[in-house]
């Protein structure tokens, strides 16, 4: 399957929250989303928008020290991973990583390259990068699987 890519300009934090909410409106479990980008690029901000778009009203923090945060919502269970502090991908086996990829789950993974070899294929890859000439971010979205392509079709309609 050829990669399909969408590029979106995000001029500020609010735009990042809004795009996360938009994605939440069309995301359907099961779905695996990789979030890539430097520290401070806005990965957790995008996840916050996503979760608020699904109706979560509480705080959304990066699970840097807990590795995973679980959000049980009416439409799906969301697992938000942050693998930044993972020293060895094999540690994922000890937490039962495979159990998180259930049919009723949407799994959002920051720093997925740290879990290489122990994570399933992503349906969607989100990459946040800073602009070279302006403030804000550029979001690159790659739709990698049939589920990702179905997501893209819904994304275009919104």
CATH label of the domain that carries residue 103: 3.40.50.300
Domain, as residue range, for 124:
4-157
Mean pLDDT, residues 58-71: 87
Q: Out of 37-51, 62-76, 99-113, pick the least confident.
A: 62-76
**What is the predicted pLDDT for the residue at 80?**
96
Average pLDDT, the chain: 90
Residue 11 contacts by C-beta under 8 Å, 6 or more apart in sequence?
A: 134, 135, 136
pLDDT band at 134 (very low <50, low <70, confident <90, very high): low
CB burial readout 106-134, b (16+ within 10 A) else e: bbbbbbbebbeebbeebbbbbbbeeeeee
Task: For residue 109, give the 3-state DSSP assignment.
Answer: strand
What's the domain count of the chain? 1
Mean pLDDT, residues 134-146: 89
Identify which has the larger pLDDT, 78 or 149: 78
- Residue 2 scores a pLDDT above 70: no
Mean pLDDT, residues 7-11: 92
């Amino acid at each position: 399957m050829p990669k399909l890519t969408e590029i979106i300009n995000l001029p500020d934090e609010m735009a990042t929250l809004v795009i996360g909410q938009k994605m939440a409106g069309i995301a359907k479990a099961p779905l695996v989303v990789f979030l890539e980008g430097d520290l401070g690029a806005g990965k957790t901000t995008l996840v916050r928008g996503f979760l608020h778009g699904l109706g979560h009203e509480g705080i959304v923090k990066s699970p840097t020290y807990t590795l995973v945060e679980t959000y049980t919502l009416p439409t799906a269970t969301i697992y938000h991973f942050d693998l930044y502090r993972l020293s060895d991908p094999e540690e994922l086996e000890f937490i039962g990583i495979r159990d998180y990829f259930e049919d009723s789950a949407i799994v959002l993974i920051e720093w997925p390259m740290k879990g290489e070899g122990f994570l399933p294929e992503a349906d969607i890859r989100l990459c946040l990068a800073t602009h070279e000439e302006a403030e804000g971010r550029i979001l690159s979205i790659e739709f990698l699987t049939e589920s990702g392509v179905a997501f893209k079709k819904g994304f275009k309609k919104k």
